[in-house]
């Protein structure tokens, strides 16, 4: 007599079609894979937002509103681009050759 499988565990019976060497997933296995993939995707997004809150000034110790994080991140990047342009201009005014690849 086969051992009882724990409740909520996908049915692991492997079915092969004639001439097909790949095992076919059951609907339960497909659903479980989809749920796991979606959870992994959401966790990656959460990790990305957490990382942004660490890198972007003004986001420390704030609630994690994803909209706020995106707005503040865009503002920060724009400020950084403008500062870079200002520094490149200042260097060029002093006679320093700045490669085009470094100008943005």
Q: What's the confidence (pLDDT) of residue 7? A: 56
Q: Which domain holds residue 54?
A: 27-102
Question: What is the spatial distance between Cα 75 and Cα 59, in angstroms, rounded to a whole number?
Answer: 12
Q: Is the pTM of this model over 0.85?
A: no
Residue 85: inside a domain, yes or no? yes
* Domain count of the fold of the chain: 1
Q: What's the confidence (pLDDT) of residue 20? A: 63
Residue 66: inside a domain, yes or no? yes
Query: Which CATH number fits the domain that encloses residue 63?
Result: 4.10.280
Residue 86: inside a domain, yes or no? yes
Spell out the per-residue pLDDT of the chain, length 104, in tens.
455 555 555 555 555 555 667 889 999 999 999 999 999 999 999 999 999 999 999 898 777 789 999 999 999 999 999 999 999 999 999 999 999 988 87
Q: What's the confidence (pLDDT) of residue 61? A: 77
Residue 36: inside a domain, yes or no? yes
H or E stretch covering 76: helix 66-93
Residue 83: inside a domain, yes or no? yes
Residue 95: inside a domain, yes or no? yes
15: helix, coil or strand? strand
Residue 71: inside a domain, yes or no? yes
């Amino acid at each position: 007599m086969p051992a009882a499988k724990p409740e909520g565990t996908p049915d692991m019976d492997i079915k092969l079609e004639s001439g097909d060497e790949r095992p076919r997933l059951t609907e339960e296995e497909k659903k479980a894979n989809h749920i796991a993939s979606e959870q992994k995707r959401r966790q990656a997004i959460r990790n990305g937002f957490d990382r942004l809150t660490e890198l972007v000034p003004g986001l420390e110790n704030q609630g994690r509103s994803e909209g706020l994080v995106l707005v503040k991140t865009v503002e920060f990047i724009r400020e950084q681009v403008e500062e870079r342009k200002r520094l490149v201009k200042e260097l060029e005014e002093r006679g320093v050759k700045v490669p085009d690849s470094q100008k943005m």
